[in-house]
Structure 1
């Protein structure tokens, strides 16, 4: 557990610009009444953002997530997290940078959908 806590802290300090931008939009209940955590350990992984109550994970993917090995790794990670009852939503760094409102709309729609389940 200490390993995950230390890594989570390091990832929070070294967040990407897209992660920082999205965090500013969803932190401290700024996104409706939903509480998000960032760089949070779940099931042996550290997820970028999670709303525990809605069981929604938002992963911000950069260019490194395009190789065949990374796609396979991300698929395995998604399956493992979904097996824990979470929905994993993936957004691209570029989308956060150029269309933050669209990304936030997509997150809002998923939160609303999950509230009706």
Structure 2
């Protein structure tokens, strides 16, 4: 069950997406037309808010900025990933540099994880 707090946080995050998240979202929302699979952005999953989620495939995609690479950020991510795994979700993480430098490879990895590409 999603808490009112996580729903409010998701709405806030949707309005403040980074450039990398916006670019990735443009591709992911086309997956519905191209592959028949629906993705969501800033999607609440229990106590977490996933950057992107394909609920039918139980896949979460996270875009990690600088704050994820601190000791506290890494610990928080491990805790979230463990909770999501317990809920049956797989998590793919890209850092903002990867999205900027290897965008096509990131899209291919997502397609592969969704079983849409070998």
Same fold (TM over 0.5): yes
Pairing 1:45-60 to 2, within 5 Å after superposition = 45-60=48-63
Secondary structure in 2 aligned to 1:53? Answer: helix
State the Cα distance separating 1:107 from its structure 2 match: 0.5
Q: What displacement does 1:32 show?
A: 2.3
> In structure 2, what is the equivalent of residue 66 of structure 1?
69
TM-aligned CA distance change 1:2 to 1:93, over 3 Å:
same
Q: Does 1:37 align with 2:40?
A: yes
- In structure 1, runs of 5+ residues without a counterpart are none
TM-score (norm 2): 0.89
Question: What are the ranges of 5 or more consecutive residues in structure 2 without an aligned counterpart?
Answer: none
**Alignment correspondent of 2:11:** 9
Give 1:60 shift. 0.4
1:107 and 2:110 matched = yes
Q: Deviations over 1:23-45 (max 9, x none)?
A: 00111415522210010111201
Q: For 1:69 and 1:11, how far apart are their aligned partners in 2?
A: 20
1:82 aligned onto 2:85: yes
Q: Secondary structure at the match of 1:89?
A: strand
| TM-score, scaled to structure 1 | 0.89
Contact 1:25 1:31 in 2 (8 A): no
Secondary structure (helix, strand or coil) at the match of 1:38 reads: strand
Q: Which residue number corresponds to residue 96 of structure 1?
A: 99
Superposition RMSD in Å: 1.5
Displacement of 1:5: 2.1
